[in-house]
Amino acid sequence: MNPSLEGITIWDGVSVAGPRRLEWSGDRIESVQPADDRFPGLSVIPGLVDTHVHLDTSVLDGAGPGDAWPLVTPDEEKAMHVAAHALRFAASGVTTLRDLAATSVQIAVGRAFDQGVLDGPRLLASGPVGMTAGHGDLFTPPRFRDRPPVADSPDECRRLVRQWAREGASGIKIYTSGGIFSMGDRVGWRNQTRAEIAATVDEAHALQLRVAAHAHTAEGIDIALAEGVDSIEHATGVTEEQFAALVAADMPVGPTLLINDQVAAGGNGIRAESSEKARDVVAGRDPAFRAAARAGVRFVLGTDANGRFVRHGGQLDELRAMQQLFDWTAERALVSATSDAAASLGLGSSLGRVAEGYHADFVVVRGRPWESLDELTTDRIVAVVSRGRVLAGQLPG
Ligand SMILES: [Zn+2]
């Protein structure tokens, strides 16, 4: 007999259905049928999708962003931390995580989860393609010799995309501006030439990899739009003149609100350089984002969470921040973290909804979070199911 929940209210990723009998088999939802409410006070929502995370940081307290952990820790050991982060995020209801600066480590852990070697959430891994002195490159201190790969011509970009495809990445990450945590660059630096970006996007799309573009500046957003990327990350410098093009392209934008606020606020071992940069990029962000949301720009849940900035469960706080800033209903915010986030990854017909034929990823919660996001907190989560298996908590009944 298939596992089931007999009579529980379902919010399906778009709208609320009354009490339903939810039946699944392995990783597939078999049926969702009307039923008497046997669990009043509880409800089921789809597992959340965070389109922008970074999992290769230490899960142990005490390691700060400026420290040597990423440089001195062997990949074998990093893999344990990546898996531990993924499971801790999953315990807060996030059953799909896209790591936007993946190495072979995230790809390997994602594969182990996919194959059932370990029970875990869906971990999508996007390999970075960036230039020497670009945002990605300068996460490693400038004089350090052992550096991740960079690409400094259209041909090198194509080769690096192909290497990621060979490795098993599910997407590519590019940069069209400088960034905040990188050491010694400026946010306003253009990253790569148009020809390099065009080659990367063309090669990625030829190999069926989606391209996510890190862009803080208006120039970087223009380049990303013109070159046909599949999502824009941060977008803090968005201008009113860009709203129409973003809407016309139906471009998903990951707003990464809380991390930029946290870094701007400083403390927690953050370098002064990073705080200063973050204060600059958030200075004009909120009114621009509010206007963008009003104009119909497609914001989806993308937090940049790494377990240290935006900690485990921080996605739920990010959603509340998005609701408030964008002047959304709770339901609209949840759409941005479920069905629309999945659609933004090209997975809208299999993920992000509680419906027949979809993957069996869902969360049992106390309350009605689509009516009030205050009800969506980690301690109110009763069970997290991913691929049909309970990853955290316990199914009711
Ligand atoms: Zn990021």
CA distance 2 to 372: 32
Expressed in angstroms and rounded, the spacing between residue 330 Cα and the centre of ligand 1 is: 25
Compute how many other C-beta atoms are within 10 angstroms of the C-beta atom of residue 372. Answer: 12
| Both tokens assigned to 388 | 């049909």
Does residue 109 belong to any structural domain of this protein? yes
- Determine the average pLDDT of the residues in 348-372: 98
Distance of CA 292 to the CA centre of its chain: 20
Report CA(214)–ligand 1 centroid distance (Å): 8
Residue 268 is predicted with a pLDDT of: 79
Q: What is the mean pLDDT of residues 11-22?
A: 96
Q: Does 67 have pLDDT greater than 90? A: no
**Residue partners of 278: CB distance under 8 A and separation at least 6:** 180, 260, 261, 263, 264
Distance CA 8, CA 278 (A): 44
> Which amino acid, residue 172?
I
**Predicted pLDDT of residue 234:** 98
What confidence score (pLDDT) does residue 30 get?
98
Q: In angstroms, what is the span from residue 196 Cα to ligand 1's centroid? A: 21
Answer yes or no: are the C-beta atoms of 97 and 122 closer than 8 Å: yes
Q: 349 lies in a domain?
A: no
C-alpha span between 247 and 40 (Å, rounded): 40
Give the domain CATH number at 149.
3.20.20.140
N residues, the chain: 397
* Residue 339, φ and ψ in degrees, nearest 5: -60, -40
Distance in Å, CA 180 to ligand 1 centroid: 10
**300: CA distance to ligand 1 center in Å?**
14
Q: Is the pLDDT of residue 138 over 70?
A: yes
- Are 87 and 11 contained in the same domain? no
At 62, the pLDDT band (50, 70, 90 cuts) reads: low
Share of the chain above pLDDT 70, in %: 99
375 shares a domain with 286: no
Q: From the CA of 145, how far away is ligand 1's center (Å)? A: 23
Q: For residue 92, is it within any domain?
A: yes
The total of other beta-carbon atoms located within 10 Å of residue 209's CB is: 20
Gap between the Cα atoms of 65 and 330, Å rounded: 33
* 118 and 259 fall within a common domain: yes
Q: What pLDDT score does 40 carry?
A: 94
Q: How confident is the model at residue 61 (pLDDT cuts 50, 70, 90)?
A: confident
The DSSP code sequence of 207-252 is TT-EEEEEE-SHHHHHHHHHTT-SEEEE-TT--HHHHHHHHHTT-E
- CA of residue 101 to ligand 1 center, whole Å: 7
- The answer on 53 and 26 residing in a single domain is no
Residue 65, pLDDT > 90, answer no
Structure tokens at 227: 């070159």
| CA 359 to ligand 1 center in whole angstroms | 26
* 374-387: average pLDDT: 96
CA of 36 to the centre of ligand 1 (A): 44
Strands (E), the chain: 4-11, 16-25, 28-34, 42-46, 48-53, 94-99, 122-128, 171-175, 210-215, 231-234, 252-254, 298-299, 362-366, 381-386, 389-393
Q: Based on the domain organization, do 151 and 10 belong to the same domain?
A: no
Amino acid at the residue 384: V
DSSP letter at 139 equals G
Q: Which residue has the higher pLDDT, 375 or 121?
A: 121
Task: Report the number of distinct structural domains present in the chain.
Answer: 2
The helix/strand/coil state of 371 is coil
Mean per-residue pLDDT, 76-85 = 97
Mean residue pLDDT of the chain comes to 96
Looking at the fold, whether 301 and 272 belong to one and the same domain comes out as yes
Cα 52 to averaged position of ligand 1 atoms, centre (Å): 6
Q: What is the pLDDT of residues 40-60, one digit of tens each?
A: 999 999 999 999 999 999 999
Distance, in Å, from the CA atom of 257 to the CA atom of 374, rounded to the nearest integer, reads 18
Q: How many Å lie between the centroid of ligand 1 and the Cα of residue 178? A: 12
Residue 223 in domain: yes
* CA 54 to ligand 1 centroid distance, Å: 6
Read off the DSSP letter of residue 305. B
pLDDT band with cut points at 50, 70 and 90 for residue 279: very high
Determine the straight-line distance between the first and last CA of the chain, rounded to whole angstroms.
Answer: 16
Strand partners, 214: 175, 233
Shared-domain flag, residues 107 and 15:
no
Q: With 90 as the cut, is the pLDDT of residue 269 above it? A: no
Cβ-contact 369, 363 below 8 angstroms? no
Could you give phi then psi for residue 95, rounded to 5 degrees?
A: -100, -5
Domain containing residue 385: 4-44+354-393
Same domain, 34 and 64: no
* pLDDT tens-digit map of 247-263: 999 999 999 999 999 99
- Which of 308, 325, 344 is where one domain is finished? 344
Whether 333 and 319 have beta carbons less than 8 Å apart is answered as yes
- CA 280, CA 34: separation in Å to the nearest integer? 52
Strand arrangement of the beta sheet that strand 171-175 belongs to: 48-53, 94-99, 122-128, 171-175, 210-215, 231-234, 252-254, 298-299
Tell me the pTM.
0.97
Residues 87 and 143 in one domain: yes
Q: Any idea what the CATH number is for the domain that residue 378 is in?
A: 2.30.40.10
Torsion over CA: 106, 97, 84, 313 (sign): positive
**Cα 374 to ligand 1 centre (Å):** 26
Cα 39 to middle of ligand 1, angstroms: 39
Helices (H), 250-344: 257-265, 272-283, 285-295, 314-326, 330-337, 339-344
**Average pLDDT of 21-28?**
98
User: Domain check: are 276 and 146 in the same one?
Assistant: yes
Residues 300-327: tens digit of each pLDDT: 999 999 998 899 999 999 999 999 999 9
Pair 170, 257 in one domain: yes
Query: In the prediction, which pLDDT does 63 show?
Result: 61
Q: Tell how far the Cα of 304 is from the centroid of ligand 1, in angstroms.
A: 5
Query: Does 76 reside within a domain?
Result: yes
Structural tokens at position 121:
């959430």
Q: Are residues 152 and 281 in the same domain?
A: yes
